[in-house]
């Protein structure tokens, strides 16, 4: 016998009985709501996690705000990658304007910068989905009671106003230094 019949039951919302009585390890909507908040994100993330969609939709806010959106959503590594890509695209456009004197080159680089923004918009929800999956599975492994389980998921996900304000401060300092 592999399990202890006298052990208290675990609070695992993500486990459903499969065809052979084994858990299939899906992440529940309740966990996704705890991670991303109520709204449209849980539904988009669930569709991506269950394989119903390759993408998780286009995120207009991430496309418009880039690094700020990533830091607001606690996706710090993606935010830093976005900062590098956005900085390189702005730098390339500035160089083309300063030294190019060729309207086609400047227009091409502006189109590239807009394409980068579109790419960020499509990748943002995928990044959120990857973090949700990794975070929820890590917290699931702790086998906590239901309230603590959802509380820790909510703390790891959600939003962070201090991070958003911090990145605005850093960007302001970098802009002043430039």
Q: Among residues 122, 34, 119, 124, which one has the least CA distance to residue 75?
A: 124
| Strand positions, DSSP E, 56-153 | none
pLDDT band at 6 (very low <50, low <70, confident <90, very high): low
* Number of residues that this document lists for the chain: 178
What is the pTM (predicted TM-score) of this model?
A: 0.74
Task: List pLDDT tens digits, range 98-135.
Answer: 776 666 777 777 788 888 889 999 999 999 999 999 99
Token digits of residue 111 = 């189109």
Interval 130-141 mean pLDDT: 92
The predicted pLDDT at position 63 comes to: 92
């Amino acid at each position: 016998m592999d399990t202890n019949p006298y052990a208290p039951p675990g609070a695992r919302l993500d486990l459903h009985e499969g065809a052979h009585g084994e858990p299939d390890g899906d992440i529940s909507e309740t966990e996704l709501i705890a991670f991303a908040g109520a709204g449209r994100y849980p539904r988009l993330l669930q569709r991506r996690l269950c394989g119903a969609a390759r993408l998780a939709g286009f995120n207009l806010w991430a496309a418009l705000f880039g690094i700020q959106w990533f830091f607001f959503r606690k996706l710090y590594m993606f935010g830093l990658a976005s900062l590098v890509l956005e900085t390189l695209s702005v730098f390339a456009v500035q160089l083309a304007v300063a030294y190019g004197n060729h309207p086609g080159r400047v227009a091409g680089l502006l189109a590239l910068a807009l394409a980068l923004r579109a790419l960020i918009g499509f990748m943002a929800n995928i990044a959120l989905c990857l973090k949700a999956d990794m975070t929820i599975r890590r917290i699931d492994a702790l086998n906590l009671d239901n309230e603590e389980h959802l509380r820790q998921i909510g703390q790891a996900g959600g939003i962070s106003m201090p991070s958003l304000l911090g990145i605005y401060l850093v960007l302001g300092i970098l802009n002043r230094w430039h």
